[in-house]
Structure 1
């Protein structure tokens, strides 16, 4: 163990004479000893056997800040002290520019453009993967698709059915409260039927699938990226698009219309129970009114939108999962981004669909 010796000089100066190793392992104790020495100070290195850059910096700091004098050092020690002194200069820092709301809006716009560009490129890669499967159908993984049917569709029936049932009840209750002011509470059936079949059924189902399955897609693929399973697939000649992305896309596209129809039925049942209990409309009358007031075009509008929403949700989830880098924190960030991106795109598409169907007369 290296020890320190403090000896008085013949003059008024105090002599700090470390002995043994002046290295990082002794940095704490040496620093405290130096701070305790009064000025003027002389550092005698004649008894030092080893010195690294940390020890040299402690000596240099005493010279720089306190005007200490260094004696007894070998040529190697002196060269090291000179190198430390040359490297000791303040780092130039560039202050962060604060551009305000305009700069933040610009940065968000640029980032959104890059994300959209990446999503379009990923969509192109997916189309190429589909074309490859058409040319070589033996590479199609039917078992993976069936497993995704279970995850995306069957296991989501409970939560989507419950959510849709409660939404039907809420729409009926709120609509009845407003319509009763005009003595038109019978039109609550019209409100429940049209809004759940045409809009809320597909939209709320898409939001639930985005939060449940879209996030799962991003987390699963992101974890596989971290564990280098995706790289291993490429190494053995298996396309990650064909093995991971396409089965999830097919499952989401196929299951969304079924889940959407299930959500429509659950909402209508929930609204019917409220009408029966709150408005004294018998179930048979309610069913007949629903059949009269809900046109077939509303059903087709909902079922046409559903697979498109499923495709967007699966595409965004897989895209964000593929963006995960070698960092566990990225899994959470990309999973959140997948859900936000999916819901945003679904709402935008829903608005586009509304304008389109209105323009062709499906009102």
Structure 2
């Protein structure tokens, strides 16, 4: 019967002398690796008494020699020596688990990777916007006919179909603003100034901002998914083959629709929010609708209206370009379509909020307070 791997050790002048016996093979090692680690400093590893050795056994001996500098391996047969030489020439490190780096190092690495990815995405969107402008100038210079049928079709999907959800959302937001403002102003007996809060917030900021977020989530994602699917089915490549510019046929109608409709949707959302605030003021604060309307005419300056009209087309262009760019980046499979669609929505909402903050500072600096 094959003997289990074992060893004996005795103290020497320079350290313990370990003499192995039995079969140093994977099937017969048992707890030998754990026991040999408990031995103190080792000076000699004697293999003269072993019956057989395999790669795992040779690795155990080599590791023990590496853990005790100066330890000598003696008594190895020709077979054992070939295995030991092969392991000695292999400089790779044997690790069961990868080294776990400190948390702060991994956090900085992830932050750096994300920052580089965001920067690359921003550069790509800017480059895509430049290519779109080139396509616009090409159409103007060559006097090509705009694809009005495609643009009108996008009017339906971007604008008309979005009216119910945008109207309901804005109406409820107007109620929430009025209710929260009235609760705070009631402490000072100034409930009437709830009208100021609802009117100016709806026209200047919240109506358009919430509309842009809704359009980004609804139409921007649709642009990315549609164009991404066309990329997978090679429709975009087919257009290039027959001489049709995808930028002119696919991108421009969608960007034009979102740009032209955003001011109308923003104004519609602002009116719905004002109506919601008026309903709460009538029911909750007992302010008559006529008084509510008269007060709105007094406190809402035309600069708020012009500020909304200036921001709206910019948001529309941003949402359209971001959605189309993400769709054009689809390369591999259907999973890429979902990932790019999500990236389009996130990027559009983020950029809309950043630009809205920029516009707020700009309008304040020129006196449109």
Specify whether residues 351 and 96 from structure 1 end up closer, same or farther in structure 2 by C-alpha distance, changes over 3 A only.
farther
Q: Alignment partner for residue 253 of structure 1, among 256, 259, 266?
A: 259
Q: Superposition RMSD on alpha carbons, in Å?
A: 2.4
Output aligned runs, 1:220-299, within 5 Å. Answer: 220-299=226-305
Using structure 2 for the length normalisation, give the TM-score. 0.73
Q: Does 1:104 align with 2:110?
A: yes
Provide runs of 4+ in structure 1 moved above 4 Å. 89-98
Q: Which residue of 1 aligns with 2:149?
A: 143
Q: Which residue of 1 aligns with 2:178?
A: 172
Distance 1:96 1:214 in 2: 43
Output aligned runs, 1:120-199, within 5 Å. Answer: 120-199=126-205
Distance 2:338 2:184 in 1: 43
CA distances 1:276-312 after superposition (whole Å, capped 9, x unpaired): 0001100111000011111111111112111100110
Q: Which residue of 2 aligns with 1:347?
A: 353
Q: How far has the Cα of 1:91 moved from its partner? A: 11
Q: Which residue of 1 aligns with 2:62?
A: none
Q: Alignment partner for residue 314 of structure 1, among 313, 320, 342?
A: 320
For structure 2, the 5+ residue unaligned runs are 2-26, 29-53, 57-89
Distance 1:206 1:284 in 2: 30
Equivalent residue pairs, number? 285
CA distances 1:313-360 after superposition (whole Å, capped 9, x unpaired): 000000000001121000100000000000000000000000000000
Q: Which secondary structure state, in structure 2, belongs to the residue aligned with residue 257 of structure 1?
A: helix
Distance 1:156 1:355 in 2: 30
Distance 2:313 2:94 in 1: 55
Q: How far has the Cα of 1:137 moved from its partner? A: 3.2
Q: How far has the Cα of 1:64 moved from its partner? A: 8.2
Q: Which residue of 1 aligns with 2:6?
A: none
Q: How far has the Cα of 1:113 moved from its partner? A: 1.2
Q: Which secondary structure state, in structure 2, belongs to the residue aligned with residue 191 of structure 1?
A: helix
Moved more, 206-215 or 293-302: 293-302
Q: Which secondary structure state, in structure 1, belongs to the residue aligned with residue 144 of structure 2?
A: helix
Distance 1:96 1:259 in 2: 55
Using structure 1 for the length normalisation, give the TM-score. 0.74
Specify whether residues 242 and 279 from structure 1 end up closer, same or farther in structure 2 by C-alpha distance, changes over 3 A only.
same
Distance 1:216 1:230 in 2: 17
Distance 1:350 1:216 in 2: 23
Distance 1:189 1:165 in 2: 15
Q: Which residue of 2 aligns with 1:30?
A: none
Q: Which secondary structure state, in structure 2, belongs to the residue aligned with residue 281 of structure 1?
A: coil
Q: Alignment partner for residue 332 of structure 1, among 310, 335, 338?
A: 338
Q: How far has the Cα of 1:96 moved from its partner? A: 7.9
Distance 1:359 1:96 in 2: 54
Q: How far has the Cα of 1:140 moved from its partner? A: 2.0
Specify whether residues 150 and 91 from structure 1 end up closer, same or farther in structure 2 by C-alpha distance, changes over 3 A only.
farther
Specify whether residues 95 and 243 from structure 1 end up closer, same or farther in structure 2 by C-alpha distance, changes over 3 A only.
farther
Specify whether residues 218 and 92 from structure 1 end up closer, same or farther in structure 2 by C-alpha distance, changes over 3 A only.
farther
Q: Which residue of 2 aligns with 1:359?
A: 365
Distance 2:152 2:312 in 1: 19
Aligned partners of 1:202 and 1:303 also within 8 Å = no
